[in-house]
């Protein structure tokens, strides 16, 4: 088969005033696709608008990764293209990636929440009823308090403690406390879809694109088998109509170039024949050959297996025509007609033509470089806000914060010039360092010849160097052997060279200058990343510098939040459509309700409401510090409680948090005054009670004194009686004891007389016995004529041992 040629003919966009039937034809869609193709792929030499943008974005992304090409640096240092004398490390210095990471990662730290506000008539009525209920409680607060105190009936619709005191507190209460279930369900639905599509990972890629190439894009769509999908769109593959709006709201077409396997074409259009597929396959290699700019990125192995398709959305309008018929019974009937309907002239009294124009989007798919249109249909499940249903939101959401006249400016683009200069300085620094030589010595050979060491050996340069490097000493002679002055008396002298050091210092200064220029053009100062904080600067000044740096890149954060808000608005409309029209309604409800079962019933009614979507961003460190300072001042002065401080810190809206701080402070002062009044009243009651108690206590004291006197007198009389009774008893006991003692004494005396008489009789008997014995012995002496007998008692001897033996002789 003959290889097809790439067809990019000059084609203009079709007439917007064509009829709806003409807009639905494939010829109309093919003309739209060819017009987009001509605008973006018209070749000028070897380049075109699309691939010029693609290459420019590719270059910026390489700079953002620190992988930019080094050919330009080699051409700067080469002499006639010769690099043989240079031995340098050509790896780029990764300066830009550091600044990109600071911005992108700093944005990921700024947490946010999606807030839904129900703004339809039903929700407004419910909000108004709730506010009127609060206002009625505020008006009848005193009466309801009396009713509660007297009868124990709590008739408050809300807690009496949380009831607002004035209109300002009421507005704050409505913003902070009132959150109907339908709004909670909407927020749950949006957050569930975002989590299911891993939006927070996709958002990081979008933030990286905004910082790197200056724009970021997302796409949302409803797929019959997959539900609501959110996908990342590479800005390098995107085409769009000319726009001067940073948010691309005035674009009337969007498109995306994709390289898909050729087998995917049958899923888009099953009617393609085998010849059509072969022709498209041949066209792929011709397409790459048509643009010389693609040669560095060309992969010839897979050229025939993939094909470049243009997916595009085209915005136009559609007229809806209705025939309004007046019935005989006075009623009316409306019937849908095509745009060519006109009521017959004779029946104008019974029929009326009603027209309505709304925005619509058509979806198309075309093979680039050919006249083959694979798809052209009216888009299904278009996003239409209920408050403005005549408008349709595109599937693509993009932002370019610094775009002017179609030219996109990015943070990386500002740094590329200075990054190139830093790289050249780095290479020059390597070149200078490689040519720096160490310090040497100068040897005067004639001076050495005049030196005699006395060893008989000659003093040669080798010995002189060895002595110099080992000891640092040099031997020389002031005069020659002939007695003349020796001009080489110092034969070794050190040679020092500092030319390389000055060049190195100059290059380092140049390097720091270009780095400072990057900080100046981007606003990313040292305080932002704390790379080299000044030790002499105050903490407040460093925080102020960091705040200024955040302000310099605030447009990137604002662009990211804009995409998030627009996406949340689109998802809100798509959720309503899914719940109202889709066959997967129950499955979608259960999918959302798995995170919060209590919102299941509310989720089923979401399609009845219209919501306003807001993004509430967590405050940055500076705002948190200011709020915390206010809280600490209020706490130190006892103007709020710790519980109030906890409630205030949980509010992300700084303005609302400060308003709540004012209200809490005001309520605390009011409660303190009421508490002081209660203390005064309580003190007065205590004083009255103390006076009454004092009088009663005095009477009680007098009565107590009288009773005590009577009791004392009675005690004295009783004591006297007891005393007399005790004395009587004691006397009685003493008389009894005396009597017993007298009786004992009398008995002892009688016993003594008896014993004395008995002793007398015993002594008398003993004496008579002794006399009789002695008389008997005397008689015996006389008879026997015995010597004289000694009648002294031998009782004074111990065991026959006579003590008389010890008498002096």
Judge contact between 661 and 634, C-beta under 8 A. Answer: yes
Selection from 81-90, 453-462, 734-743, 791-800 with the highest mean pLDDT: 734-743
Q: 299 falls in which pLDDT band (50, 70, 90)?
A: low
pLDDT at 362: 94
Q: Is the pLDDT of residue 27 over 90?
A: yes
Query: Could you tell me which residues come within 8 angstroms of residue 681 by beta carbon, excluding any fewer than 6 positions away?
Result: none
pLDDT at 546: 45
Q: What is the pLDDT of residue 1?
A: 44
Q: Does some domain include residue 191?
A: no
- Residue 803 DSSP symbol: G
Residue 801: pLDDT band by 50, 70, 90 thresholds? Answer: very low
CB 362 within 8 A of CB 376: yes
pLDDT at 513: 92
DSSP string for 106-126? HHHTS-EEEEEEE-SHHHHHH
Classify strands 373-378 and 492-495 as parallel, antiparallel or unpaired.
unpaired
Position 302 scores a pLDDT of 62
| Residue 798 confidence class, pLDDT cut points 50, 70, 90 | very low
- The SS3 of residue 376 is strand
Q: Which burial class, exposed, middle or buried, applies to 505 when counting CB atoms under 10 A from its CB (0-12, 13-18, 19+)?
A: exposed
416-430, 485-499, 574-588, range with the lowest pLDDT = 574-588
Q: For residue 2, is pLDDT > 70?
A: no
148-162, 405-419, 468-482 — which one is most confidently predicted on average? 405-419
> 734 CB contacts (<8 Å, ≥6 apart)?
none
The segment with the largest mean pLDDT, out of 120-129, 439-448, 661-670, 699-708, is 699-708
Q: What is the pLDDT of residues 548-577, one digit of tens each?
A: 456 778 888 889 889 998 998 888 888 876
Distance CA 774, CA 770 (A): 6
Residue 638: inside a domain: no
Domain assignment present for residue 762? The answer is no
Cβ–Cβ < 8 Å for 415, 423: no
Instruction: Check pLDDT > 60 for residue 803.
Output: no
**Res 640: pLDDT:** 83
**Are the C-beta atoms of 245 and 405 separated by less than 8 Å?**
no
Q: Is the pLDDT score of 537 beyond 50?
A: no
Q: Which helix (H) or strand (E) element contains residue 565? A: helix 554-581
The DSSP secondary-structure symbol of 166 reads: S
Residue 561's nearest CA partner among 113, 82, 251 is 113
**DSSP H stretches of helix in 89-179:** 96-108, 121-139, 141-151, 167-176
Nearest-angstrom CA–CA distance, 610 and 573: 8
- Host domain of residue 452: 438-496
**Residue 87: pLDDT over 70:** yes
Question: pLDDT grade, residue 180 (50/70/90)?
Answer: confident
CB 29 within 8 A of CB 362: yes
Least confident of 554-558, 583-587, 768-772: 583-587
Residue 510 confidence (pLDDT): 92
Residue 171 CA: distances (Å) to CA of 78, 117, 183: 72, 15, 18
Cα–Cα distances in angstroms (integers) from residue 798 to residues 460, 571, 793, 802, 807, in the given order: 136, 143, 12, 7, 16
Question: Has residue 306 got a pLDDT over 90?
Answer: no
Q: Which residue has the higher pLDDT, 730 or 644?
A: 730
Q: What is the pLDDT of residue 540?
A: 43
Calpha distance 239→398 (Å, rounded):
11
Rounded (10°) CA dihedral 525, 527, 530, 536: 120
pLDDT of residue 541: 40
Backbone angles phi, psi at 436, to 5 degrees: -75, 130
Q: Are 40 and 50 in contact (CB under 8 A)?
A: yes
The mean-pLDDT minimum among 52-61, 509-518, 627-636 falls in 627-636
Mean pLDDT along residues 22-51: 89
Phi, psi of 293 (to 5 degrees): -65, -20
Burial of 358 (0-12, 13-18, 19+ CB in 10 A): middle
Tell whether the model's pLDDT for residue 804 goes beyond 70. Answer: no
Are 314 and 252 contacting, i.e. CB atoms less than 8 angstroms apart? yes
Q: What is the pLDDT of residues 614-643, one digit of tens each?
A: 777 767 666 777 778 888 888 888 878 888
Instruction: List residues bridging with 611 in a β-sheet.
Output: 118
pLDDT of residue 498: 63
β-sheet bridge partners, residue 336: 322
Q: What are residue 784's phi and psi, to 5 degrees? A: -95, 0
State yes or no: pLDDT of 181 exceeds 70: yes
Q: Distance between CA atoms of 33 and 118, rounded to whole angstroms?
A: 40
Buried b (16+ CB within 10 A) or exposed e, 613-626: beeebebbeebeee
Residue 106 lies in a domain: no
* Contacts made by residues 292-297, CB under 8 angstroms, sequence distance 24+: 292/46, 293/46, 293/47, 293/48, 293/51, 293/52, 293/55, 294/51
Per-residue confidence (pLDDT) for residue 807, from 0 to 100: 53
DSSP-assigned states of every residue in 431-499:
HHHHH----EEEE-HHHHHT-B-SSSSB--HHHHHHHHHHH------SB-TTS-B-TTSS-EEEE---H
**More confident of the two residues 547 and 312:** 312
Amino acid 438: pLDDT: 74
Statement: residue 413 has pLDDT above 90: yes
303-312, 332-341, 714-723: range with lowest mean pLDDT: 332-341
Tell me how many domains the chain contains.
Answer: 1
Q: What share of the chain is helix, strand, coil (3-state, %, to 5)?
A: 55, 15, 30
Give SS3 for 420.
Answer: helix
pLDDT in the model for residue 262? 86
Distance CA 364, CA 374 (A): 7
How many Cα atoms occupy the beta-carbon half-sphere of 510 within 13 Å? Answer: 18
pLDDT bucket at 528, cuts 50 / 70 / 90: low
Task: For residue 547, name the pLDDT band (cuts at 50, 70, 90).
Answer: very low
pLDDT reported for residue 543: 45
**What average pLDDT does the structure give for the chain?**
80
| HSE-up of residue 172 (Cα within 13 Å, Cβ side) | 21
Structural domain includes residue 487:
yes
Q: Do the beta carbons of residue 43 and residue 51 sit within 8 Å?
A: no
State how far the Cα of 237 lies from the Cα of 228, in Å rounded to an integer. Answer: 22
Burial of 808 by CB count in 10 Å (0-12 exposed, 13-18 middle, 19+ buried)?
exposed
d(CA 78, CA 746): 157
- 463 inside domain: yes
Name the burial class of residue 27, with classes exposed (0-12), middle (13-18) and buried (19+) by CB atoms within 10 angstroms of its CB. Answer: exposed
Q: Is residue 163 part of a domain?
A: no
Nearest in space to 3 (alpha carbons), one of 267, 288, 301: 288
Contact at 8 Å (CB) between 305 and 299?
no
Residue among 605, 673, 665, 607 nearest 639 (CA): 665
**C-beta neighbour count of 408 within 10 angstroms:** 19
735 three-class SS: helix
HEC secondary structure over 698-717: HHHHHHHHHHHHHHHHHHHH
Res 471 pLDDT > 60: yes
Q: Point out which residues pair with 805 in neighbouring strands.
A: none
| pLDDT, position 487 | 74
Least confident among 99-103, 232-236, 443-447: 443-447
Tell me the pLDDT band of 779, cut-offs 50, 70 and 90.
Answer: confident
Q: State the average pLDDT over residues 703-708.
A: 85
Give the pairing type, strands 396-399 and 351-367.
Answer: unpaired
In a domain, 483, yes or no: yes
Query: Measured between alpha carbons, how far is 663 from 177 in angstroms, rounded to an integer?
Result: 14
Q: Count the Cβ atoms, other than its own, within 10 Å of residue 259.
A: 13
pLDDT tens sequence across 376-403: 999 888 888 776 677 888 999 999 999 8
DSSP one-letter code for 531: S
């Amino acid at each position: 088969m003959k290889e097809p040629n790439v067809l990019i003919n000059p084609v203009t966009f079709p007439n917007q005033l064509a009829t709806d039937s003409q807009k639905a034809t494939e010829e109309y869609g093919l003309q739209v696709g060819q017009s987009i193709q001509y605008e973006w792929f018209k070749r000028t030499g070897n380049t075109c608008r699309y691939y010029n943008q693609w290459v420019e974005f590719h270059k910026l992304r390489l700079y953002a990764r620190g992988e930019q090409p080094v050919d330009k640096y080699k051409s700067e240092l080469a002499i006639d293209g010769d690099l043989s004398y240079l031995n340098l490390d050509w790896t780029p210095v990764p300066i830009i990636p550091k600044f990109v990471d600071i911005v992108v990662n700093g944005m990921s730290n700024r947490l946010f929440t999606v807030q839904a506000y129900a703004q339809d008539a039903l929700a407004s009525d419910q909000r108004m009823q709730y506010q009127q209920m609060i206002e009625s409680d505020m008006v009848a607060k005193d009466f309801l308090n009396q009713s509660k105190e007297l009868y124990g009936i709590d008739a408050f619709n809300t807690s009496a403690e949380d009831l607002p005191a004035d209109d300002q507190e009421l507005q704050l209460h409505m913003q902070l406390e009132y959150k109907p279930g339908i709004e909670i369900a909407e927020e749950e639905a949006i957050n569930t879809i975002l989590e299911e599509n891993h939006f927070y990972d996709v958002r990081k890629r979008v933030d990286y694109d905004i910082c790197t190439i200056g724009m970021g894009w997302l796409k949302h769509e409803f797929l019959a088998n997959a539900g609501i999908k959110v996908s990342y769109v590479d800005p390098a593959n995107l085409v769009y109509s000319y726009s001067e709006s940073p948010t691309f709201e005035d674009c009337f077409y969007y498109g995306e170039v994709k390289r898909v396997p050729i087998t995917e074409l049958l899923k888009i259009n099953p009617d393609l024949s085998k010849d059509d597929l072969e022709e498209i396959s041949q066209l792929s290699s011709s397409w790459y050959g048509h643009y010389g700019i693609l040669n560095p990125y060309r992969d010839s192995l897979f050229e025939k297996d993939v094909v470049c398709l243009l997916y595009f959305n085209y915005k136009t309008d559609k007229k809806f025509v209705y025939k309004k018929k007046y019935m005989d019974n006075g009623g009316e009937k409306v019937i849908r007609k095509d745009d060519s309907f006109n009521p017959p002239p004779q029946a104008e009294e019974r029929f009326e033509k009603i027209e309505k124009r709304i925005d619509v989007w058509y979806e198309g798919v075309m093979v680039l470089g050919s006249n083959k249109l694979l798809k052209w249909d009216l888009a299904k499940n278009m996003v239409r806000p209920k408050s403005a249903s005549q408008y349709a939101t595109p599937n693509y959401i993009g932002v370019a914060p610094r775009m002017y006249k179609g030219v996109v400016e990015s943070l990386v683009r500002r740094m590329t010039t200075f990054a190139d200069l830093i790289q050249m300085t780095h290479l020059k620094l390597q070149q200078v360092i490689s040519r720096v030589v160490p310090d040497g010595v100068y040897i005067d050979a004639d001076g050495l010849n005049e030196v005699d060491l006395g060893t008989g050996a000659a003093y040669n340069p080798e010995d002189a160097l060895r002595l110099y490097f080992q000891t640092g000493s040099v031997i020389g002679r002031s005069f020659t052997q002939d007695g003349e002055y020796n001009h080489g008396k110092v034969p070794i002298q050190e040679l020092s060279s500092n030319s390389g050091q000055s060049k190195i210092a100059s290059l380092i200064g140049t390097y720091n200058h270009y780095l400072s220029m990057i900080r100046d053009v981007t606003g990313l100062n040292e305080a932002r990343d704390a790379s080299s904080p000044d030790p002499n600067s105050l903490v407040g000044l460093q925080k102020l510098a960091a705040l200024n740096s955040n302000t310099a890149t605030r447009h990137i954060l604002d662009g990211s939040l804009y995409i998030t808000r627009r996406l949340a608005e689109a998802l809100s409309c798509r959720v309503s459509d899914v719940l109202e029209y889709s066959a997967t309604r129950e499955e979608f409800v259960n999918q959302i309700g798995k995170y919060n079962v209590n919102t299941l019933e509310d989720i089923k009614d979401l399609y009845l409401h219209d919501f306003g979507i807001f993004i509430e961003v967590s405050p940055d460190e500076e705002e948190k510090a200011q709020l915390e300072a206010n809280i600490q001042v209020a706490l130190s002065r006892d103007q709020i409680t710790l519980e109030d401080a906890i409630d205030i810190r949980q509010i992300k809206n700084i303005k609302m948090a400060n308003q709540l701080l004012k209200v809490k402070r005001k309520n605390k002062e009011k409660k303190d005054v009421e508490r002081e009044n209660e203390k005064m009243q309580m003190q007065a009651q205590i004083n009255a009670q103390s006076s009454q108690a004092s009088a009663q206590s005095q009477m009680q004291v007098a009565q107590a004194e009288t009773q005590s006197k009577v009791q004392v007198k009675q005690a004295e009389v009783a004591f006297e009686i007891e005393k007399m009774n005790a004395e009587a008893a004691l006397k009685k006991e003493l008389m009894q004891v005396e009597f017993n003692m007298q009786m004992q004494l009398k008995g002892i005396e009688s016993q003594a007389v008896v014993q004395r008489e008995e002793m007398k009789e015993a002594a008398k008997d003993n004496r008579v016995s002794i006399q009789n014995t002695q008389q008997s012995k005397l008689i015996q002496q006389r008879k026997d004529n015995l010597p004289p007998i000694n009648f002294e008692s031998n009782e004074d001897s111990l065991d026959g041992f006579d003590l008389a033996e010890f008498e002096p002789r």
